[in-house]
Amino acid sequence: MRRRTFLKGSLLGAAAAAVPLGASAAEPAPVTSLSALQSAIDRAVPGDRIVVADGTYTVPSGGAIDVSGRSGITIVSQTRGGAVLRGARSFVLDGASAVTISGFALRQSGTLEIPAGSTGIRLTRNDIQFADVDGLDWVLVEGDGAKIDRNHFHDRTTQGIFLVVDGPGSTAVAQGLHVFKNRFSNHLYTGANGGESIRLGVSSRALSNADAIVEYNLFERCDGDPEAISVKSSGNTIRYNTIRDSQGGIVLRHGNGSTVEGNWLLGGKEGIRLYGNDHLVVNNHLAGLTGRALVIGSGTTRDHHDGETTEERRGNDACDRAVIVHNTLRANKSSLSGETRTYEPQDVTVADNLIVGDSGSLVAMGATTGFIWQGNILWGAAADGTLPNAGYTRVDPRLTQSTDGVFRLSAASPAIGAATLAAVSVPEDIDGHARGTARDIGSDEYSTLAPVRRPLTSTDVGPNAS
């Protein structure tokens, strides 16, 4: 990556402010100008913590706050959201490692990059609302071991992505990203696509393992794309997130071997859509969706592979060998469905799911090969649809609504202890309760205990989250 240059004059070359009497040497007084901030960064050593006083700081055109080559330092706003950074760019992190940036209100008009070669960078407790510029991606991660946590990405109307994960070269992807306890809200772009909240990879990087974990994030009114979380790499875990009132869902668009576990998708449009091989979809709760709740995708190709053309790689890879177990689909317009591309999904296991609905068909699969259906419960006025004669029971699951609005099993539910798929270990349910040996059908294991995990609210995530 080309190393960036910026102005070194009055903005970045001034000496640091003097430490007032009574200030601790371990905790210097807050810096009060960009020049003082740059001077503090330039002399910082691992373990240093630089505090930026509350106020608004505008980085001039062509300038930046250069953290390149620094290691093990923390740069933090005096109070959360109190230090506001404006201008085209804020922090430049080329060759940095173990740097934490915390508590700022970021108001840039250009992308904040964690470049390849910068490792262990953490963005935490920031309020992120960049310029509403068409095509601008707000945060780009290419370096390994990044943490993006407790931030609030919010309020845009244009095409562009809140958080993009790419990598060095044309096929590699950043390794070991951890995205947790963030709030993504109010992406109101109305185009057909290009407004994802998170995109993990891109088609050319689909076969690279990212080993990313995206967990405990809240998405509200994320309407910029049918894919709020778009996975275009392999080996990722998407778990314990809540997507509310959003057009976008969770889509494994490219790549293999990812897990989608314990997510709540409530009252929006799209649910979970699968392409590629060897995914696990377990313990998810999808309710009140006006689009397609769960799609087992067909493909324009059977398997993506090295040596494909760009156009071939952009195509859909038929879903093979997925395991879809212990999910609850309730009151959706379309519950479980397929597609009609050339290559049908094959060798997929659909087991111990609870599917309840009153309109259309509960299952509307197209052509399939080698599917295993077992232990599912269907209920409601909707037709059964395209299921084999075996693999399900039509019986009232006796759901009751809890105080958090979620419908869970009641004590008399026939789903209790009725699960059949022993080959896959599922130690907990969506609420964080132990399943034991005789597991219940659906995402919820009946319990009189309070849930350990519930659908997230705004108090659980963002800059002030625990």
Identify whether the C-beta of residue 72 lies closer than 8 Å to the C-beta of residue 120. no
Element (H, E) at 236: none
Closest of 147, 142, 138, 144 to residue 110, by C-alpha: 138
The pLDDT, as a whole number, for residue 19 is 37
Whether the pLDDT of residue 23 is over 50: the answer is no
DSSP state letters, 289-344: -SSEEEEE--BSBS---TT--HHHHHSPBPPBS-EEES-EEES-SEEEE---SSBP
Model confidence over 200-228: pLDDT tens digits? 999 999 999 999 999 999 999 999 999 99
Cα separation, 124 vs 435, in Å, equals: 34
Percent of the chain exceeding pLDDT 90 equals 91
Closest of 217, 209, 334 to residue 273, by C-alpha: 334
Instruction: Classify burial at 140, counting beta carbons within 10 Å of its beta carbon; exposed 0-12, middle 13-18, buried 19 or more.
Output: middle
The pLDDT, as a whole number, for residue 27 is 67
Tokens 């699960």 belong to 419
What is the average pLDDT score of the chain?
94
Model confidence over 75-128: pLDDT tens digits? 999 999 999 999 999 999 999 999 999 999 999 999 999 999 999 999 999 999
Model confidence over 345-394: pLDDT tens digits? 999 999 999 999 998 999 999 999 999 999 999 999 999 999 888 999 99
The pLDDT, as a whole number, for residue 173 is 98
Q: Place 139 in a pLDDT band, splitting at 50, 70 and 90.
A: very high
232 Cβ partners below 8 Å, 6+ apart?
Answer: 199, 200, 201, 202, 203, 205, 206, 253, 254, 255
Contacts 24+ apart (CB under 8 A), 385-388: 385/336, 385/360, 385/361, 386/361, 387/363
The pLDDT, as a whole number, for residue 28 is 78
User: Which domains, from first to last, does the chain contain?
Assistant: 150-460 (2.160.20.10)
How confident is the model over 131-149, as a mean pLDDT?
98
Antiparallel, parallel or unpaired: β 407-409 and 399-401:
antiparallel
